[in-house]
Copies of this chain bind each other. A is one copy, B any other.
Amino acid sequence: PYLSENSKTLVVGPSTWHEGTEIAQPITWSAHFTPLGQRLQESTATELLALRQLSTQSGITSLAMGLPDPALIPVERFQQAWEAILSRIGAEALGVSPVQGIAPLRELLSDRLRCQGVSANPENVVVVNDSQQGLDLLLRLFTEPGDTVITEAPTYYRNGMEVERVEFLLARYRPRLIYTGPTYQNPTGCTMSLERRQKLLTLAQRYQVPIIEDDPFSELYFDEPPPPPIKALDDAGHVLYLGTFSKCLSPGLRVGWLVAPQPVAKLATLLRRATDLQPNTLGQHLVIEFARRGWLDEHVAAARASYANRCQAMDAALRRHLPRGAKWHTPGGGLFLWLELPEQVAAHELPSETGQQGVVFLPGRFLYPTNGRQNVCRLNFSVPDEESIERAVAVLGSALCKLLCREVGVVAEQTLVSPAV
């Protein structure tokens, strides 16, 4: 039990015991929640949970998720890997893991990172359940409620975060962190140029503000590899780097990684111990076995090819089915395409139409840290196959046309009818 983080503890002292019959009153839970709990109650997360649930229902084509294609998951290879693991190490594969992650996996990650230009020793690598857990740990270590963080709003930036404006913010607000997803960013699919990466790093160094670089997609490029991670340019250790196998192998394994200078890696490990004790052992061994057999690289290559095709299919379908005024940037990798609807339309008006035809997607307003634009949405092209993409985009396009026309119709009708009354 780990209580010391958040609490004082009472040593039990003397008292008098009152007996009696009482009728227990239920608790009014909302009065007991912390401000964090209160904010969660009011957040849009409930709507996102509902959308996630809807996305898994049969008969639904979902462009709302951010997952690898389930059809790509190599079930037979997982079976063979599992057999090899059990015959080689047996029960150890189901037993305890070091809190920081098993050593062979941290060595493997260190080697793979070196190929991307990131120099990290296994001691700098902390295995986490997913980038999400790494982010949560870092936010708990570096920010308190009310602190300021610089991040992209997911507006349409062809080259990622507008670094030119960052220095003003650094000087004025002295933020605790810069959080960025520079490569095939979720949700826009945009990629920060090498020049901007270098500038952002220089600024972080000048103002001594850590950068959290969230990089789940950089292996999933289509034509050519993206620029190196900011972490690869980071010779003085200002970048805290997050990656995951959830997008390029399988989300059910829950294996991601955090790369950080020693003091941060150590503290993240201690906090992780208090959070959920250790990573799951089995998922770690499965990843190692996949890598040893060369299957990890094969799998990533297959995913690249498949998602490149699907992205192209979505781009073509959008050209065919979307009305004038819709705009999008076709990404060079990753899982998402960011669609800008004509200004007079709000994305959340569409689901009631598209839902009837079994198509769901994510209105973009959920993806802004503060007030977001209404006429944007995130479309995923990795889960549905090309045929489903074609159909789903057709449904989206026709719903959009209907909305555009109906709006005009209603106004026209009122205009026509009113004077006659």
Of A71-79, A307-315, A321-329, A400-408, the one touching chain B? A71-79
Q: Which residues of B sit under 8 angstroms from A98, Cβ to Cβ?
A: 52-53, 56
Chain A contact residues (Cβ within 8 angstroms of B): what range?
A: 35 or more
With beta carbons under 8 angstroms apart, the residue of B17, B29, B276 that contacts A136 is B276
Task: State which of B141, B162, B369 has its C-beta within 8 Å of the C-beta of A36.
Answer: B141
Q: In the assembly, what is the distance between CA of A18 and CA of B92, in Å?
A: 55
A164 contacts partner chain B, Cβ-Cβ < 8 Å: yes
A148 within 8 A of B: yes
Stretch at the interface among A82-90, A112-120, A222-230, A335-343: A82-90
Query: Do A27 and B275 have beta carbons less than 8 Å apart?
Result: no
Binds B, one of A42-50, A374-382, A384-392: A42-50
Q: Are B205 and A40 in contact (CB-based, < 8 A)?
A: no
Residue of B1, B168, B252 near A97 (CB, 8 A) is: B252
Cα-based distance from A141 to B148 in the complex (angstroms): 22
Task: Give the residue name and chain of the B residue nearest to A244 (CB).
Answer: B277
A-B contact pairs, 17 of them (CB 8 A): A2-B135, A3-B149, A6-B147, A12-B161, A12-B166, A13-B169, A18-B167, A24-B238, A29-B261, A29-B264, A30-B263, A49-B99, A49-B270, A56-B96, A93-B252, A130-B276, A280-B283
CB contact under 8 A between A95 and B82, given known A8-B149, A45-B273, A149-B3: no
Of A173-181, A345-353, A357-365, the segment with at least 4 beta carbons within 8 Å of chain B is A173-181
Closest Cβ of chain B to A263, distance in Å, is: 4
The reply to whether B267 and A17 form a contact with Cβ atoms under 8 Å apart is no
Task: Please name all residues of chain B whose beta carbon is closer than 8 Å to the beta carbon of A418 when the two chains form the complex.
Answer: none
Q: Is the CB of B147 within 8 A of A22?
A: no
Q: Which residue of B lies closest to A93 (CB)?
A: B252
Residues 227-261 of A contacting B (Cβ, < 8 Å): 235-238, 250-254, 261
Query: B181–A1 contact, CB under 8 A?
Result: yes
Closest CB of chain B to A80's CB: distance in Å? 11
**A413 interfacial by beta-carbon distance below 8 Å:** no
A165 to B14: give the CA distance in the assembly, Å: 5
Question: Sorted from nearest, which 5 A-B pairs have the closest CB atoms?
Answer: A252-B281, A15-B168, A24-B236, A9-B369, A133-B276
A45 to B167, CA, bound (A): 38
Give every chain B residue within 8 A of A25 (Cβ-Cβ). Answer: 205, 208, 236
Is A10 in contact with B70, judged by CB distance below 8 angstroms?
Answer: no
A219 within 8 A of B: no
* Contact assessment for B276 and A128 in the assembled complex, using a CB-CB cutoff below 8 Å: yes
CB atoms of A15 and B75 under 8 A apart? no
Q: Does A11 interact with chain B (Cβ within 8 Å)?
A: yes
